[in-house]
Amino acid sequence: MTPPPWYREAKHKAPRLCENQTYPYNFRMGEFCPGSLDRFLKRHAASGSTLWEPFAGHTSLNQTIDICAGFGVRLVAHDISPIDERVVQADSTRVGPGLPINGVIFHPPYYGAGCVFSDQEGELSSEEDLDSYLAAINRCIDRVDEVMEEGYIYLVARTYPVKGKSFSLDWVLTNEFLSRGYEFEEALCDTPDWIVYLSKSA
């Protein structure tokens, strides 16, 4: 598969923030680079705005809450697993945030990557096949579109092998947002993940 032009461009220009940023994090544990969230919120988040994180557990939650709080941003956190009292237990492909939002932290579970988060019904990493996984992810993006007329997306995804073939969830999801009228803003390399900023105008 040939990478789309925006991805090839981004690859040359992508700041590798995580090599010299000051927040501690452990990408091996599935955390994303907090410096990139800080950079994103500096650019986009007005104090008093609301972000939805539809896949908010299991590892980066404390950092995400702290960083959002530092910007005066309210975080509505959902996860299908019971996490703690700060997270609403919900299937984010079916239940949206229930209020207007200004942005989304979109860090979905990966299908076929050997990591299943729980045995909850609706857990995306254990979908039957890639097509049903992608259909479910698209339903979650529908939930975003229902409540966000204008706003921004902070997407974390990677290219990784599924059943021996390279699968580019990073391009697939970015292209899905682009096809829904979002604009590509920036991509940061957080090896092996890519962090992609997108925005949507009214």
Applying CB under 6 A, the residues found at the interface with ligand SAM are 30-31, 54-61, 78-81, 91-93, 107, 109, 117-118, 122-124
What kind and span of H or E run contains 109?
Answer: none
CB of 76: closest distance to ligand SAM in angstroms? Answer: 12
d(CA 108, CA 78): 12
CB of 73: closest distance to ligand SAM in angstroms? Answer: 16
DSSP 3-state assignment of 53? strand
d(CA 153, CA 173): 11
Nearer to ligand SAM, 75 or 187 (CB): 75
d(CA 135, CA 94): 12
CB of 130: closest distance to ligand SAM in angstroms? Answer: 15
Nearer to ligand SAM, 6 or 21 (CB): 21
Nearer to ligand SAM, 128 or 201 (CB): 128
CB atoms near residue 59 (< 10 Å): 15
CB of 78: closest distance to ligand SAM in angstroms? Answer: 6
CB of 63: closest distance to ligand SAM in angstroms? Answer: 9
Nearer to ligand SAM, 15 or 30 (CB): 30
Q: Is 15 left (phi over 0), alpha (psi -120 to 50) or beta?
A: beta
d(CA 191, CA 202): 33
d(CA 12, CA 28): 24
Nearer to ligand SAM, 131 or 183 (CB): 131
| Partners of 67 in the β-ladder | none
d(CA 193, CA 111): 15
